[in-house]
Each structure stands twice: as C-alpha cells, then as structure tokens.
C-alpha cells in the first residue's frame, strides 16, 4: 500500500538516508525512502501506462468518512492496466 499526501507540492525522496530516526522523521517509517505527493503519484502511475480511479469523500459520502473516522482529504486510488 502506498500513502500519498494531498497538498504536498512534490514527492520527497532520498534513498541515501539510512539512519532509522531520520527516516521516521522524514518519511514516517524506518523502511521508507519517500513521501509521495498525491499528484506526482498519479502522474507516475500514468506515465507507466496504468490508469488510476480515485474515490474520495464525494464518492463514498460524508457519513461513511465520519463513521470510519477518515480525514476528508483521504482518497482511495484503484490502479489498473487498461
């Protein structure tokens, strides 16, 4: 599963960072080397020949987001090869 950050202007990545504490600080996990900006993630997937369907709060409904305690900026990305 890949997490993306809506509103992040560009993907932050640096595979040269090996310190676990620094990876936690920058990427939110000790085994990650990037944080994807949402728009960049979708563009990279498209450039690889895949399509992305995005389902957000408008699709699922505000009531479900509240019930599941999801942030209103959450998006489910379904990726497929056309």
Predicted confidence at residue 78, as pLDDT, reads: 95
pLDDT at 1 over 80: no
Q: What is the DSSP track for the chain? A: ---EETT-SS-EE-TT---HHHHHHHHSSTT--EEEEHHHHHHHHHHTT-EEEEE-HHHH-HHHHHHHT--TT--EEEEE--
Provide the percentage of residues in the chain whose pLDDT is more than 70: 98
Claim: this prediction has a pTM higher than 0.75: no
Identify the band that residue 45 occupies on the pLDDT scale cut at 50, 70 and 90.
very high
Provide the percentage of residues in the chain whose pLDDT is more than 90: 76
Predicted confidence at residue 3, as pLDDT, reads: 72
């Amino acid at each position: 599963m890949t997490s993306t950050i809506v509103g992040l202007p560009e993907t932050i990545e640096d595979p040269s960072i090996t310190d676990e504490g620094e990876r936690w600080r920058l990427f939110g996990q000790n085994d990650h080397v990037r944080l994807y900006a949402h728009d960049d993630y979708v563009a990279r997937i498209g450039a690889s020949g895949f399509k992305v369907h995005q389902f957000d709060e408008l699709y699922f409904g505000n009531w479900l987001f509240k019930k599941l305690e999801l942030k209103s900026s959450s998006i489910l990305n379904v990726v497929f090869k056309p």
